[in-house]
Amino acid sequence: FLEILENNNINYLDFRKILHDENLGHHAAFFRTDHHWLPSASLWATRHILNYLKHEYKYDVKPEILDSKNFKVVTYPKWFLGSQGKKVTLARAEPDDFDLIYPKFKTSLHFENFIDGKDITGDFESLMYDMKYFNEVNYYEDNVHAAYPIGAAEVRYNNLADNNLKILFIHDSFGNTVIPFLTLAVKQLDVLDLRVFTGSVKSYIKQHKPYCVIVLYNSDMIGNSQTPDVYNIFNMQ
């Protein structure tokens, strides 16, 4: 798949290679009971995305805004039993801790959702996470990972951004934990999950004219691309 991208002059970041080059353990980047990467790994990955945009495209972004020192972490101990943990049950799996990561700096955001018509304004802490998952533990019924924004089809404005960048972000569930941090770095982030968004991506790009399009999928999506649901997310007509 990466060879196809290279042959068509499409730039990419392979985070598997970056983890290896920085001598970071692959297992340490992921939940033990779930296939998704940790929110802390997503913060790290988003910083690499910004570095790439800055150095390869000369975009006016500041990767340093996503330094871990600029964030506070609220940890919910043993709160999350991921999809793999649910399969083997609590008899075989110990729940994961789950982190919500908040910026220490001032924020002002505005979100417009195409699906439910929601139009809201506020700061990061009041808007970003779905806190219903933290009232009580429900290992088998709740998917706590969904506390991070699903971003099916919406536009996110950062009122305090010091650039005018408009980015279209197309993603699967691995992108959910990237969305909050990318929102903090650019003026406008258009977010589409093609398993939910049924419009034309080509038409969307022509109408909204983003500076660039970032597609973030986990490698399993590519490997399973023969299944109907996964095939649909690669249909960007």
Please name which of 183, 158, 179 lies closest in space to residue 170, comparing C-alpha atoms: 179
Cβ contact 191:154 at 8 Å: yes
Cβ contact 72:93 at 8 Å: no
Buried-state track 8-35, b at ≥16 Cβ within 10 A, e below 16: eeeeeeebeeebeeeeeeeeebbbebbe
User: In Å, what is the CA distance from 48 to each residue of 4, 18, 134, 212?
Assistant: 23, 9, 30, 16
Task: Give me the tens of pLDDT residue by residue for the chain, a chain 237 residues long.
Answer: 888 889 999 999 999 899 999 988 888 899 999 999 999 999 999 999 999 999 999 999 999 999 999 999 999 999 999 999 999 999 999 999 999 999 999 999 999 998 888 899 999 999 999 999 999 999 999 999 999 998 789 999 999 999 999 999 999 899 999 999 999 999 999 999 988 888 889 999 999 999 999 999 887 777 665 555 655 666 667
Report yes or no on whether pTM surpasses 0.75: yes
- How many CB atoms are located within 10 Å of the residue 106 CB? 8
